[in-house]
Structure 1
Amino acid sequence: MPSSRTSYHHGALREELLQACLNLIETEGVGAVSLRRVAREAGVSPGAPYHHFADRATLLSALSSRGYDLIAERMTAARAAAGDPVRALAAIAEEYVAFARREPGYFWVMFRPELSASKKHPDARQAGDAAFRLLIDTVDDCVRAGVVTESDADAVVLAVWGLGHGLASLWLDGHIEGVSDKLSGPPEEAMSQISRLVESVIAR
């Protein structure tokens, strides 16, 4: 067990607790998280987390908000580098899956149902809405470019989100490996192929 630290810079303690929580999620799952356990992993007193987080849900909400900020930042970069709206849409889906594989701890906590109540956790909800807005805006770009009809826009948003989230979840849960010899190579290759299919379907 880590030795308990008696002093900590105020901001550094919050960061240490968030990192300890993230590590715990990635090694043991969200169910293992409690403020007492996170304090132990961070090497601080059991009461230390309460200086920053009122309860377990508040801690998970803060981590969820950070996850949405990170995925939004990376999807924004992917969208900007794409060059055209259709490619940008595929690039966002590709980055969504890549983020889940690189940052499974964040991904698992971002979609916890108890964090979806906007009145209780407005920061997490707002961060999630901002990330989702990137997908909506990119589909709107496709509408303006004439490759998606306005009547189909909402369906395309849900289809691309569903594809990205579904693939991310399947990969993280270990359901894709071994399904097909063509998917046995690097996940990036499979995702690139799927992205090209998305582009070809939308661009028809």
Structure 2
Amino acid sequence: MDATTPARPGTGTAPRGRNPRGQGERLRTEIIDAALRMLDELADDQALSLRAVAREVGIAATSVYIHFADRDALVLAALERCYSDLLRAVDDAESATTDPVAALRARTTLLGAWSREHPGLYKVLHESTLIRRRDMSFRDEMGQRMAAAIRRCMDAGLAAPGDPETVALDLRTAVHGAVSLRLNQPELPWPPLEEQMDRFLVKLVGVPPLAR
């Protein structure tokens, strides 16, 4: 289980003790942890309530309002943390190799795998009504880093020449489409996600296929 989904406390957990003075940030982190777990289970930010989050943490609801003005503010903070953790995981996967194509493949594969393992968070990140109400520009960083990874492949002569930003947008569209359809139409005869990700890389980016 990764940093975006901390272990869920057992049922019947005793109320949480008051944080020592100066540890308010620790409580804020625990509230965000709880919100991430619950969003992954609910797959709907509208179904989340601050009172339910407070019960999950073992605190009074008023303690949540000290850190977050409303549900949208908490969900936004949780998603921003989620994206930060995901960016770090993707960068770590990419940095494990010096080959630009292998790095791009690792980045794309991890994104697909994460979306499959966290369908609830995926839906909130990409399909929630929060997107229309609040600024979520922190999500732009993922596309920028993918474009940079594609540019490195192009500069090394390992991918078809072109505009990396456009190719990155095409690739992200394909990856997110594949994940979304899997979530919403699981009955279709889906091929292994990793194989489909590789076909996207070959067809859209122009890199050599993965040797099998």
User: TM-score, normalized by length of structure 2?
Assistant: 0.75
| Distance in 1 (alpha carbons) for counterparts of 2:130 and 2:70 | 13
**SS at 1:148's partner residue?**
coil
| Distance in 2 (alpha carbons) for counterparts of 1:165 and 1:4 | 40
| Distance in 2 (alpha carbons) for counterparts of 1:57 and 1:40 | 18
2:47 is equivalent to residue 27 of structure 1: no
1:149 maps to what in 2?
161
Residue 174 of structure 1: how far off its partner (Å): 5.2
| Distance in 2 (alpha carbons) for counterparts of 1:143 and 1:33 | 44
1:164 maps to what in 2?
175
Match of 1:193 among 180, 192, 195: 195
CA contact (8 A) 1:60 1:109 kept: no
Report which of the two has the higher share of helix: 1
Residue 52 of structure 1: how far off its partner (Å): 1.0
Amino acid at match of 1:159: D
Deviates more, 1:24-33 or 1:104-113: 104-113
2:112 is equivalent to residue 101 of structure 1: no
Residue 34 of structure 1: how far off its partner (Å): 1.9
Amino acid at match of 1:23: R
| Distance in 1 (alpha carbons) for counterparts of 2:150 and 2:129 | 26
| Structure 1 residues 101 and 200, CA gap change in structure 2 (3 angstroms) | closer
Deviates more, 1:10-19 or 1:101-110: 101-110
Residue 53 of structure 1: how far off its partner (Å): 0.8
Amino acid at match of 1:102: E
| Distance in 2 (alpha carbons) for counterparts of 1:71 and 1:27 | 18
| Structure 1 residues 174 and 135, CA gap change in structure 2 (3 angstroms) | same
| Distance in 2 (alpha carbons) for counterparts of 1:174 and 1:108 | 10
Percent identical among aligned pairs is 26
Match of 1:175 among 161, 178, 185: 185
Tell me how many residue pairs correspond in the alignment: 189
| Distance in 1 (alpha carbons) for counterparts of 2:177 and 2:57 | 33
1:77-88 alignment, distance < 5 Å? 77-88=92-103
2:140 is equivalent to residue 125 of structure 1: no
CA contact (8 A) 1:94 1:164 kept: no
Residue 144 of structure 1: how far off its partner (Å): 1.3
Residue 48 of structure 1: how far off its partner (Å): 0.8
| Distance in 1 (alpha carbons) for counterparts of 2:89 and 2:193 | 16
The two structures, once aligned, show a CA RMSD in angstroms of 2.6
2:52 is equivalent to residue 41 of structure 1: no
Deviation sequence 1:131-176 (CA, Å, 0-9, x none): 22210101211231232323x43331122101221222233x2524
